[in-house]
Amino acid sequence: MSYLITGLGNVGTEYAGTRHNIGFTVLDAWAALHKTTFSTLRYGSLAQIRYAGKEIWLLKPSTYVNLSGKAVRYWIHQERIALENTLVVLDDVALPFGKLRLRARGSDGGHNGLRHITYTLGTDEYARLRIGVGDDFPRGYQADYVLSRWNVSEEKELPFICDNAIEALNLFVRQGIERAMNLVNTDKQED
């Protein structure tokens, strides 16, 4: 059984370490944990890991966040991944910094990357792991905020956030979306 986990972000050094690239950050940490690296292929960088006896493809699209659907659709078809084994990791300004929210499906919530994936796939029936990046920006400056770098205190918390996100992804693969949601979407993260 194969899985496709896509982390959203923008390619290029100017975007490294920005809030919008939290999906890339989580996938980089997961790949490092499994001592694997990404290869640059069509529509993105791809790494493969094995976990719980399952093959997991980690995808970092090279299409920029707002056109991520092209990469997701291509690799779903290329590797014959079932939609229920597809998950997208992304930033969310509606969640407090570091808070995780796992969903089996749903709206794009104003996120252009999710909007394009839903449009390209023709459905919103794929899982998503939203990672809170906070909302400390004046009205009308959301784009500047998500494309800005983490502050010093946030950066210190990133390894813990990545660990929590990786555990959520492990639960998704090991136990399925419903059970994973029950475990991830509790408030225990705030303790």
Q: How far apart are CA 80 and CA 174, in angstroms?
A: 19
Q: How far apart are CA 181 and CA 30, in angstroms?
A: 19
Q: Which domain holds residue 19?
A: 2-190
Q: What is the value of pTM for the model shown?
A: 0.93
Could you say which of 20, 77, 111, 116 is catalytic? 20
Q: What is the pLDDT of residues 84-109, one digit of tens each?
A: 999 999 999 999 999 999 999 999 88
Domain count for the chain: 1
Q: What is the pLDDT of residues 122-157, one digit of tens each?
A: 999 999 999 999 887 878 778 888 888 999 999 999
List the CATH number of the domain containing 122.
Answer: 3.40.50.1470
* Whether 9 contacts 89, CB under 8 Å: no
Contacts of 185 (CB under 8 A, 6+ apart): 100, 101, 102
Mean pLDDT across 48-59: 96
77 given a catalytic annotation:
no
Reference 25, options 93, 117, 91, 115; nearest CA is: 91
